[in-house]
Amino acid sequence: MRVKGFAPAKINLTLHVTGRRADGYHLLDSLVVFADVGDALEFTPGPTLSMSVIGEHAEGVPTDDRNLVWKAAAAARWTGHINLNKVLPHGGGIGGGSSDAAATLRMIADHGGAIPDETALTLGADVPVCVAANATRMKGIGEQLQPVSLPRLPALLVNPGVEVPTGSVFSALQSRDNAPMPEKIPAFETPETCSNWLLAQRNDLETPTKNLASEVARVLDDLSDTRDALMARMSGSGSTCFALYPTMNAAHFAAYEIGAAHPDWWCRATLLN
């Protein structure tokens, strides 16, 4: 029986780097939400594991054990064919590969598969939060997850088509011992009140990423200039950036503005939650 899965884009509304462990892993404090745009997967059980990739961002995506989807299926001892429709730009800071792996683990668990407790984290720091796929405060190296209640946030996601290696971004980070978010995240009634609070928070990887890829700075400037934009910030280690808006109509209008000015950029209006 063929089963479908959805792997939503992961957006870091904040990303505070608060320390570094002796083993080299960075400690984070991040407010993570998920979009209604993402990759689509189809799972067809069978005797052996195989994989195919289609879609606008399929080029360069491996279809063997280098792919996190393959690793997730193998870790859970699931076999069959997986077809991945790659909508999200890879290497874009929105958890494409991690969300794909998480969707695979969710599908296997939903159909009675046994998944060891540490499997998600061994696949990557973002995989546990992507398994949850709801608004979450993520701390530590990705293993500390606290559900958060947020209003739905109209947003525009923009990727300029450049990949920024995560390792290079962390290497360029000047300070690794920064302040976390406030201990308590307030209750927000509207996108406006949420955005006002977020403006006082940070993505500590934004500055080093802009220094490595000037296109990211251009995207942030253009997003900030769109009509009714409440705030603009980079997600993860880049290069995808987002802006928040009071309504979906405003987000769609901004998508039209950005798309007309930069037809080569990946641009999606979406609802974050």
68 near 97, Cβ under 8 Å?
A: yes
Phi, then psi, of 231 in degrees rounded to 5: -170, 160
Residue 76 CB neighbours (<10 A): 18
The answer to whether 84 and 119 have CB atoms below 8 angstroms apart is: no
Please pick, among 29, 39, 100, 126, the residue that the annotation labels catalytic: 126
CA 227 to chain centre: 25
User: Catalytic residue at 10?
Assistant: yes
Residue 139 falls in the annotated catalytic set: no
Instruction: Give me 28's structure tokens.
Output: 């984070």
Contacts of 155 (CB under 8 A, 6+ apart): 11, 35, 242, 243, 244, 245, 251, 269, 270, 271, 272
Q: How far apart are CA 159 and CA 85, in angstroms?
A: 18
State how far the Cα of 51 lies from the Cα of 97, in Å rounded to an integer: 14
Query: Position 37: which residue type?
Result: V
| Cα(30)–Cα(12) distance, integer angstroms | 6
Helices 68-75 & 96-110 angle (0-180, nearest 10): 30
- On the 0-12 / 13-18 / 19+ scale of CB atoms within 10 A, 171 is exposed
Single-letter amino acid code for the residue at 191: P
User: What residues act catalytically?
Assistant: 10, 126
